Structure 1
Amino acid sequence: MLLAPVVASGDTLSGRVVDRDGHAVAGATVVVVELHRVALTQTDARFRFADLPAGSYTVTVRRLGFAPLARQVAVSGPTTLDLILERTSVWVEPVTVTATRAPLDVLSSPLPTEALSEDRLRRAQSVSLAHALAELPGINALTTGQQIGKPVIRGLAGPRVLVLEDGSRLEDYSWSDEDGPSVDARLAQRVEVIRGPASVLYGSDALGGVVNVIPEELPDANGGPRATHTGFEISGASNNAELEGAARGEGASGGWGWRLFGIGRFASSLHTPAGELDNTGFSALSGEAAVGTRGPRGSTTLRYTRYGGEFKLLEAEGPASGEAGGPERKLSDDRVQVAGDYLLGGVRLETKAQWQRHSLIEVSDTGTSPSGAPLEGTAFDLLLNTLTVDVLAHHTAGSRVRGTLGASGFYQTNDTRGRIPLVPAARAGAAAVFDFVEVGLGRVSVLAGGRVDVRRLAADANAALGRSDETRDYTALSGTLGVVYRPAAAVALTANLGRAWRAPTLFELFANGPHLGEARYEIGDPGLKPEAGTNMDVGVRWQGARVRVELAGYRNAIGRFIYITPTDSFVTVSTSPPDSLRVYRYQYADARLLGGEAAVEVEVAAPLTLRARTDAVRGTNRATNQPLPLVPPARAVFGAELHPSGLTWSDRAYAGVEVEVATRQTRLNPLD
């Protein structure tokens, strides 16, 4: 947070990064978080930032093989900062920008907040974000193959888990089991996750948690000569013959930086001990192009991101007959974001505007040709256009109080095309204001906030669906109160009480058509009301140089929990060949989720690190006393890793083993 007025000064921040023995640490990434400025240490361990405005900033340092470090530094004129890194393989991100929408020590967050570093994301080598996140406690992956998955946070998934890219919400059709978030983990520098409701900061859909995909900062010349870097990478996987190729180029000159990054993947069907699973292959193309400027008054970044591909679907009633049969999804997601951070006196003004175009087409079999080959046709064709805007004012009041005052909104259009409409065309708009404050009282920190959301959904008449023009208006209040007690620098005791909400989706309200990928006919309920959740969370965290321990427990009571359930009715969708689907209807009831997580990570002796984590959640429909659908079973994971020491090319090499044990899930919902 800034503590001093802004002037267009030439203030600098420079220093060295060394290890405990005083040896130079080259290649460390040093970031001034609030200003999005980045520098790499040279062979002599030195770094330098030029043209910084006077103020107080959060500086982070990361280098593989060392514990990440964060420091607060006051910049005024030429400022020197020397940093000492500790060797360890226990990697814990020291700062989160998601828990309060401003840089915060992770131990000071009242809700459990974790991050996956770039190195761990690279290990996952998956087009699915959910697969990469599943190694964190309290998070599972709901998948229909290696290519498609969505994160499940504390038993909640889909529209109850909000996915962000660099703080901007992503809107897509991940309401379906066959669709996941439209992001590629390989384009991220790190992914931060909040386990628990965060509607006070992000609004509707943050009922179960938040996933923030944070891209890599653009290169910064820092007053030095022009620099350009290129790189190429090829990797693969054996099970489905997956091949991935990636290429990137980036550079910096003066106050400007740029990056081009492209990734292509191709995979055939998955193999199991029983044989090949037909119709599970995919092809995908992702990438980004970004350019930005950094200066003494702030920064501006323009970023284009693309995610798309063709994903074949294993049918709900069993494997397709032959490689050419079965449904598939054609997905295309394009985003343009303009982000700025500007320094206005003692306030840091953060702005983001994003346009997103999301297209989803399902192709399914429509019959067979005279020769017996399957014939395909477009089942449904959906197009979603969304404009989102966020304006945040980060402020301070003395040395004990800091906060964020924000406003956000979006406008969205949904077009329904194809031979199966499924849902009507619609328009949606929303606006919100919130305030979040952190008060430091010695060893105790109190974090509190409130938010007001208004939203309107207008659905068009559609004769094929039997729907007339309909409008829904929602107003919701969210709030949170958290307390963090730090008996020691490395220990935190936390408690949080939060209220969150979620508006019904267009599909839950107005769906009336066959969903062939899931082999069911879905009917919505126009009378559904918003979900409202009250969550209580307590936890203990210990974060040492070579040891990390976390314990957490929670109770989440959700009013008007929306779910889909099968009926005894069937609808004929085809007479040639004969085909009928079971009818599923959306309903609601009060629900309760109880659970907990535990994780421990210990560097026993270099280079050996041991890890263990366990989590369990019990979800209950309070009206029927039945289990909630798709709640993961309790599990425990044990792992060990060996890391080489020394600052050489082998720093990224490791050997590891991991064993996951899951209990038998005996509490099954009819949907499971």
Structure 2
Amino acid sequence: MPKHPVSRHVLRPLPLVITLAVALPAFAESSPQSHDHQPVDLTAVQVRATPLPGTTEDLVRPVEVLAGERLDAAKANSLGETVNKLPGVQSSYFGPGVGRPIIRGFDGARVQVLSDGLGAGDVSTVSADHAVSIEPFLAEQIEVLKGPSTLLYGSGAIGGAVNVIDGRIPEAATAEPLHGRAELRGGSVNNERTGMLRLDGTSASGNVVFHFDALHRETGDYDIPGFAESARLLAEEDETPDPATAGTLPNSAVRTDSGALGVSWIGDRGFLGVGYSLFNTRYGVPGHSHEAGDDHDHADAHDGEGHSDEGVHIVMDQRRSELRGGLDELGVFETLRVKFAQTDYTHTEFEGDEVGTVFDNSSKEARVELVHRPWGGWRGAFGAQWSRRDFDAVGAEAFVPATQGSATGLFWIGEREFGPLKLELGARHDRNEIDSAAQALAPQRRTARKFEAKSASAAVKWELNDSFHFSLGLDRAQRVPTAEELFSNGLHVATGTIEIGDDSLGVETANRLELGLRWHSERVQLGMAAYAIKYDDFIYQSTLEPLGEPGSVLTDGGTAVHLWNQANARFRGMEADATIALADNASGGWDLRLFGDIVRGRLDGGGSRDVDLEVFHGEHTHRHAARIALDGNLPRIAPARIGSELSWNRGPWRASVGAVRYMKQDDVAANETTTPGYTLVDAHLAWHKDSAHGNAWEIFLDGSNLLDQEARPHTSFLKDLAPLPGRGIAFGVRAFF
């Protein structure tokens, strides 16, 4: 059972608290306060994901930042959906409760999700139906590092990293003794009701600073255009759906509670702070149910109510304690930063009212960053990172054994300017150990592995003039296999497959070349990048075919068998983003944003190889002889996109309308179906009012999927069972005080 009992009354008074908070500005003292709600110049925002302070304009590596009004407009129920419109970034989808960032075609264990520089502590990489334990609505800044970020964050960031800044442990005194923000919002497509409150304050002495935040969200089953099952799946099953079941996706409701409290002591040369946070969410898994005999099938969409007794839902509970500290001016060192987090996480899968499988994860992580003054012209930072993870899965569908893992990494990153050239170098060495109870799932399997990974990077930026610069990046990054890739053996309900790990997997190595350019004038900002990545021993899940039966799929008891495997692979892609200031006159300010991206991923191993498999079921072991293809397209690669957005502002008003075209994805892997293209149109309208006391109000109206298109992301395991929500209108009020 879960370590932490699930309470449906967590933060129940929150709506009342928020209502009071919204009313608070009217009673605030008349002392003027500064509230800058103008659009944030994102090129000037400090990026905190790197120990060397810099902006997106200064950094050599490609980084995207969401903050201010742009972040407010992008915030969504999941982190993946929040960053989904950044060039080169898309989202996984397993219903509205689950969305993990996909960066340039990489997801899962190759994209690290961070809470202000430390891992989230969840198990969202274990399975596609596991949510990220970070609440985007409480973020004050989100940073996306595109390309290998292993130098900074180790093996799990070989494809990139997403760093969410929430300010839960203050590092400096606030500008006013007390300030904050609150938000109430509702939505039509899923009957959403969300409330959020954030408070930050400083004592009269200026030495004690506190932070408090809380959020409560409830949504019902969301509306869809048409039926849950795709036309292709209905035709394949020769099924005629009941018209009464159209228009709603059953078992797609979500309930989330999140909150945190942090306190810091601020001195003349540093700070020391502690924090505690919780994240609790309950969400349905659409398209999944369990019949007698533990068979896996898609949900019965014909109950007409959307809450089948056999529906699968997940309750996730996380508690996190953190300690952070910093010192400045340490002789030859500019700053010292120390971070530590301990996280207890429980993920419980319910089949109706019965507990199916429970995933427990306890993790500890520590990080030290020491920035040194220029040595021989090089300004840089040393870092050390340590983590430990104790993972356990109990239940009939625990396809991954209990594991204990530890990792230690040392790194250095430095930069130096040579006239118009800025050079960045870095290196990192990691040691990882994984011990497992794999023999409990499959006898005779290895139970422990040790790995070493080495990464190095060189990047240069050439400032041709003040408005035009080129960049060139070269990386050699390594990733060690995860416990799931090594030791899994059993039915993985989320993907509907039997998943078999390979305990002989080795380290994968990525060699990346990237060319980029940025240009800006008084009216235009343009960024472009092209990249190519060659992987040696790329780790992936392969579809198998029985020996002697070409073109068929290997099954065990009627369920497809997938094997974790290694082969060489190549990725290549391009992305571009442009913002054009069309006009700024009596009619208001008019801006046009255009963006697009494309990525392709293919195996490059050549030919095939034969394998002998052991599939362990209960007390029985089934042996299979199969063949693995070592070339062809990789599955669930994000499709190409083009998008545009026209924005306007005049006085207290601002508005925008945009559209993103997702292209048809027909570069598919073996036994993978193509996905039709679709267009998503959205719009935003907000009215902002500053009060006489220095506080502010904002009323907003947001529209999504305004064309009510049937949209099925190619990156989703549920694309034929769960389309994206249909047309929706969200509305609400924000208060800044």
Aligned counterpart in structure 2 of residue 300 of structure 1, from 272, 283, 286? 272
- Equivalent pair of 1:163/1:211 in contact (CA under 8 Å): yes
Aligned-residue offset at 1:206:
1.0
Aligned-residue offset at 1:509:
1.0
Q: Report whether the alignment pairs 1:632 with 2:638.
A: yes
Give the corresponding residue for 2:687.
Answer: none
**Cα distance, 1:330–1:222 mapped onto 2, change above 3 Å:** closer
- Equivalent pair of 1:187/1:287 in contact (CA under 8 Å): no
AA of the residue aligned to 1:204: S
Give the corresponding residue for 1:77.
Answer: none
1:51-83 deviations in whole A, cap 9, x for unaligned?
A: xxxxxxxxxxx9432553xxxxxxxxxxxxxxx
Q: Report whether the alignment pairs 1:258 with 2:230.
A: no
Give the corresponding residue for 1:153.
Answer: 103
SS in 1 for 2:400: coil
What CA distance in whole angstroms lies between the structure 1 residues aligned with 2:441 and 2:152?
Answer: 39
Give the corresponding residue for 1:133.
Answer: 83
Give the corresponding residue for 1:667.
Answer: 667
Identity in percent: 27
AA of the residue aligned to 1:327: V
Give the corresponding residue for 2:37.
Answer: 64
Give the corresponding residue for 2:300.
Answer: 320
Give the corresponding residue for 1:236.
Answer: 186
Map 1:572-587 to 2 at 5 A: 572=557, 580-587=558-565
What CA distance in whole angstroms lies between the structure 1 residues aligned with 2:572 and 2:62?
Answer: 16
- Equivalent pair of 1:300/1:340 in contact (CA under 8 Å): yes
Aligned-residue offset at 1:617:
0.6
Give the corresponding residue for 1:331.
Answer: 316
Map 1:265-280 to 2 at 5 A: 265-274=217-226, 275-280=247-252
Aligned counterpart in structure 1 of residue 48 of structure 2, from 97, 111, 114? 97
1:435-475 deviations in whole A, cap 9, x for unaligned?
A: 11101112111100111111100112543444656110000
Aligned-residue offset at 1:526:
1.2
- Equivalent pair of 1:565/1:671 in contact (CA under 8 Å): no
Structure with the larger RCO, 1 or 2 (CA within 8 Å, 6+ apart): 2
Give the corresponding residue for 2:726.
Answer: none
SS in 2 for 1:122: helix
Greater share of strand: 1
Deviates more, 1:522-531 or 1:242-251: 242-251
What CA distance in whole angstroms lies between the structure 2 residues aligned with 1:519 and 1:169?
Answer: 28
Give the corresponding residue for 2:590.
Answer: 608
What CA distance in whole angstroms lies between the structure 2 residues aligned with 1:257 and 1:543?
Answer: 39
Aligned-residue offset at 1:497:
0.2
Map 1:4-23 to 2 at 5 A: none
Give the corresponding residue for 2:619.
Answer: none
Give the corresponding residue for 1:656.
Answer: 656
Give the corresponding residue for 2:123.
Answer: 173
What CA distance in whole angstroms lies between the structure 2 residues aligned with 1:125 and 1:494?
Answer: 30
Aligned-residue offset at 1:556:
0.9
Q: Report whether the alignment pairs 1:310 with 2:261.
A: no
Aligned-residue offset at 1:363:
1.8
**Cα distance, 1:326–1:345 mapped onto 2, change above 3 Å:** same
- Equivalent pair of 1:327/1:517 in contact (CA under 8 Å): no
AA of the residue aligned to 1:272: I
Deviates more, 1:233-242 or 1:170-179: 170-179
AA of the residue aligned to 2:637: V
Aligned-residue offset at 1:503:
1.5
5+ residue gaps, structure 2, are 1-30, 227-246, 289-296, 545-552, 606-629, 674-737
**Cα distance, 1:637–1:461 mapped onto 2, change above 3 Å:** closer
Aligned-residue offset at 1:382:
1.1
What CA distance in whole angstroms lies between the structure 2 residues aligned with 1:307 and 1:337?
Answer: 14
5+ residue gaps, structure 1, are 1-41, 46-61, 69-90, 365-374, 573-579
SS in 2 for 1:361: strand
AA of the residue aligned to 1:201: L
Aligned-residue offset at 1:217:
7.0
- Equivalent pair of 2:174/2:200 in contact (CA under 8 Å): no
Report the aligned-residue RMSD. Answer: 2.3
**Cα distance, 1:502–1:44 mapped onto 2, change above 3 Å:** closer
1:405-451 deviations in whole A, cap 9, x for unaligned?
A: 11111111112222333221111111111111101112111100111
Give the corresponding residue for 2:142.
Answer: 191
Map 1:180-219 to 2 at 5 A: 180-216=131-167
SS in 2 for 1:643: strand
**Cα distance, 1:454–1:220 mapped onto 2, change above 3 Å:** closer
Deviates more, 1:655-664 or 1:446-455: 655-664
AA of the residue aligned to 1:334: R
1:180-235 deviations in whole A, cap 9, x for unaligned?
A: 422111121101111100111211111111111111376799699x8334654210
Aligned counterpart in structure 2 of residue 405 of structure 1, from 382, 402, 415? 382
SS in 2 for 1:119: helix
Map 1:560-575 to 2 at 5 A: 560-567=537-544, 568-572=553-557
SS in 1 for 2:183: strand
Aligned-residue offset at 1:395:
0.7
1:326-357 deviations in whole A, cap 9, x for unaligned?
A: 21221112222211111222411111111111
AA of the residue aligned to 1:345: G
What CA distance in whole angstroms lies between the structure 2 residues aligned with 1:233 and 1:299?
Answer: 30
SS in 1 for 2:123: coil
AA of the residue aligned to 1:601: T
Aligned counterpart in structure 2 of residue 539 of structure 1, from 513, 516, 529? 516
**Cα distance, 1:376–1:469 mapped onto 2, change above 3 Å:** farther
Q: Report whether the alignment pairs 1:443 with 2:420.
A: yes
What CA distance in whole angstroms lies between the structure 2 residues aligned with 1:483 and 1:187?
Answer: 35
What CA distance in whole angstroms lies between the structure 1 residues aligned with 2:420 and 2:372?
Answer: 22
AA of the residue aligned to 2:571: L
Aligned-residue offset at 1:284:
0.9
Tell me the matched-pair count: 568
Aligned-residue offset at 1:498:
0.7
Give the corresponding residue for 2:599.
Answer: 617
TM norm structure 2: 0.73
**Cα distance, 1:377–1:523 mapped onto 2, change above 3 Å:** farther
AA of the residue aligned to 1:199: T
TM norm structure 1: 0.80
What CA distance in whole angstroms lies between the structure 2 residues aligned with 1:520 and 1:635?
Answer: 30
